[in-house]
Amino acid sequence: MQSAAKHSQLPESVVELAVVGRSNVGKSSLLNALANRKSLAKTSKTPGATRLLNVYEHDPEGSGRWLVDLPGYGYAKAPKQEQERWARMIEHYLTERETLDMALILIDGAVGPTSLDVQTLDWFEHIDVPFQVIATKHDKVKPSKLGGRKRDLAAGCNVDPREIRWVSAAKGTGIPELRSEIATLLGVK
């Protein structure tokens, strides 16, 4: 729908879900899978392709129910000054946007939570923004290792394993269920 460098540049909405995760965790691929489109969100092999607040309207009728894709944290091929600008933009959005209802925090299921992921989860607790952990790249975890990976990822995120949604944008695993959950969170029937 729109991209913006500041949350104050966004029009009013009814409800927003922020899509958060480290660079290269698969945020754009997940957004494309949820929308059942191949190139709605730009994907890149180079971390740091998302540089603005990117708004995706859930309802084509313009209901003000949004997914807002934030720049990834962690490694990105960008100057330090640009990364600092992103950090300020993200912080202001997450702490000041009144219609933000929840964050979907993406964790690479094949890698598990990094120290930056854990810091991010702690920060969301600190700023009192509810979040849902989404484990991406389900298809990259060997079936024989999946049970242990699910337990380890949940322990690393300090959440109950049943609270984590496992998905694969490449294979479609968990996408219909997550799509339905997002519709519920956004109040879409």
pLDDT in tens, 121-163: 999 999 999 999 999 999 999 999 999 999 999 999 999 999 9
Residue 139 sits in a domain of what CATH number?
Answer: 3.40.50.300
Predicted TM-score (pTM) of this structure: 0.91
Span 11-43, pLDDT tens digits: 899 999 999 999 889 898 999 999 988 877 766
Domain that holds residue 20: 2-185
What pLDDT does 48 receive? 52
Q: Is 163 exposed, middle or buried (0-12, 13-18, 19+ CB in 10 A)?
A: exposed
3-state secondary structure of 85: helix
At 28, which helix (H) or strand (E)?
Answer: helix 27-35
Residue-wise pLDDT tens digits, 37-81: 887 776 655 555 567 888 988 876 768 999 999 988 876 666 778
Asked whether the beta carbons of 51 and 134 are under 8 A apart, the reply is no
What is the domain count for the chain? 1
62-71, 91-100, 101-110: range with lowest mean pLDDT: 62-71
